[in-house]
Amino acid sequence: ELIRRGRAGALLAGGADEACDDARLAFGRRSDLATGLARPFDADRSGFALAEGSALLMLEPAEAARSRGARIHGEILGWASTFDP
């Protein structure tokens, strides 16, 4: 919104998520905690494997990106915000 209104020329937007390592096999039928193995792609897996991740995006007007020869990966057409603990 700041870029669209001309109040900022460019912005960095990002986020991160951290998962508790001890909960990676939660709700499973059997426990692999003794081996310390998480097997999310195993056909005989049990439970789920949590993981951490992060992302950072450079946001700028399309004209500015084109003028500097940047590869444009996408366009933000809308956004929303919510909080639901």
Structure-model confidence comparison of residues 83 and 32, the more confident one: 83
Distance CA 24, CA 50 (A): 5
- Measured distance CA(58)–CA(10) in Å, rounded: 7
Neighbours of 24 (CB within 10 A): 19
- pLDDT per position as a tens digit, 23-56: 544 555 555 555 556 666 777 766 666 667 899 9
